Amino acid sequence: MKFPSAYTILFGLIILIAAATWVVPAGEYTRETNEALGQETPVPGTYQVVEANPQGVFDVLLAPVAGFYDPDSYEARAIDVALFVLIIGGFLGIATRTGAIDAGIERTMISLKGREKWMIPILMALFAAGGTIYGMA
């Protein structure tokens, strides 16, 4: 027996939450703008039951897409972050597969023969710049 993949776990959670929309009563709090926080916050003691919106099979299948953008208004949600991660992951995958990073480190180690301790601050600076400039972390 093997542990399920992340996709299997996420899809199972989507199904579980969609099933909960059929059982758990829907409700909401009245919200007001909190000046100290600069955002809307719920008002204690104002909970009220609202009309339920149970999710069906189509909603479950559309949930991963709806996480990236709103299918009704086509407003972007997390699609920009997902594409950024894919592009950066592709870049790092190509750089790793071609051995460019390893070759650069090896070349620097050869040129620093006898002063290898300088590799620590050099690599720290390079990876910090990579994480700051284009999200290498």
Tokens encoding 38: 């600069």
For 89-132, the pLDDT digits (tens) are: 888 889 889 998 889 888 988 998 888 889 899 889 988 887 78
Kind plus residue range of the DSSP H or E element containing 16:
helix 6-23
Do 50 and 28 contact (CB within 8 A), yes or no?
yes
Tokens encoding 94: 């190509």
DSSP string, 56-122: -HHHHHHHHHHHHB-TTT--BSSHHHHHHHHHHHHHHHHHHHHTHHHHHHHHHHHHTTT-GGGHHHH
Distance CA 131, CA 137 (A): 5
pLDDT at residue 30 above 60? yes
For 81-91, the pLDDT digits (tens) are: 888 888 888 88
For 41-82, the pLDDT digits (tens) are: 999 999 999 999 999 999 999 888 888 888 778 888 888 888
- Residue 10 neighbours by CB under 8 Å, 6+ apart: 64
pTM score of the predicted model: 0.56
